[in-house]
């Protein structure tokens, strides 16, 4: 993965992904394919902190994702990638398990590469 833009493009091409936004831990938006990324960024920042807080309190190890379930079924997901957070909006009537598998496979490929190189590229 060379750039944040390429990463966003790759995530956006996964079946079931309506759009996504990539945020750095300081709150800076690095890339997006959603119409209104600013709507999601405060929630992403808080979501990351709360997930970490609950993980520490309850003694859990790793959080695969945080999901906001919506009546309209366009659920919003947060995935932690080192010092970044990826927010994904799913399309209605998609195969959620396939969409999740696709996103997590891509994240796994990013996360298992050199962390330093990845950070610099993002």
Q: Is 97 in the site for other proteins (CB under 8 A)?
A: no
Nearer to other proteins, 35 or 120 (CB): 35
Nearer to other proteins, 5 or 101 (CB): 101
Per CB under 8 A, the list member of 2, 26, 35, 58 interacting with other proteins is: 58
Extract the tokens encoding 115.
Answer: 């962390």
Extract the tokens encoding 84.
Answer: 């970044």
Q: Can you tell me the distance from the alpha carbon of 113 to that of 36, in angstroms, rounded to the nearest whole number?
A: 30
Nearer to other proteins, 5 or 70 (CB): 70
Q: 119: Cβ–Cβ under 8 A, 6 or more apart, which residues?
A: 82, 83
Extract the tokens encoding 44.
Answer: 């992403």
State the residue for tokens 């994702």: 65
Closest by alpha carbon to 40, among 20, 14, 12? Answer: 20
Q: Which of residues 8-47 bind other proteins (CB under 8 A)?
A: 39-40, 42-43, 46-47
Q: Is 50 in the site for other proteins (CB under 8 A)?
A: yes
Candidates 10-18, 23-31, 53-61, 111-119; binding stretch for other proteins (CB under 8 A): 53-61
Q: Can you tell me the distance from the alpha carbon of 102 to that of 17, in angstroms, rounded to the nearest whole number?
A: 10
Binding site for other proteins (CB under 8 A): 39-40, 42-43, 46-47, 50-51, 53-55, 57-58, 60-72, 76
């Amino acid at each position: 993965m060379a750039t944040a833009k390429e990463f966003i493009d790759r995530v956006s091409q996964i079946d079931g992904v309506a759009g996504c936004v990539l945020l750095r831990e300081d709150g800076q938006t690095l890339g997006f394919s959603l119409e209104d990324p600013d709507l999601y960024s405060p929630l992403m920042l808080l979501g990351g902190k709360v997930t970490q807080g609950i993980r520490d309190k309850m003694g859990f190890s790793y959080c695969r994702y945080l999901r906001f379930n919506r009546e309209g079924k366009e659920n919003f997901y947060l995935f932690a990638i080192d010092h970044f957070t990826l927010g994904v909006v799913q399309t209605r009537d998609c195969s959620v398990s396939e969409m999740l598998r696709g996103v997590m496979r891509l994240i796994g490929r990013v996360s298992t590469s050199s962390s330093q190189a990845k950070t610099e590229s993002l």
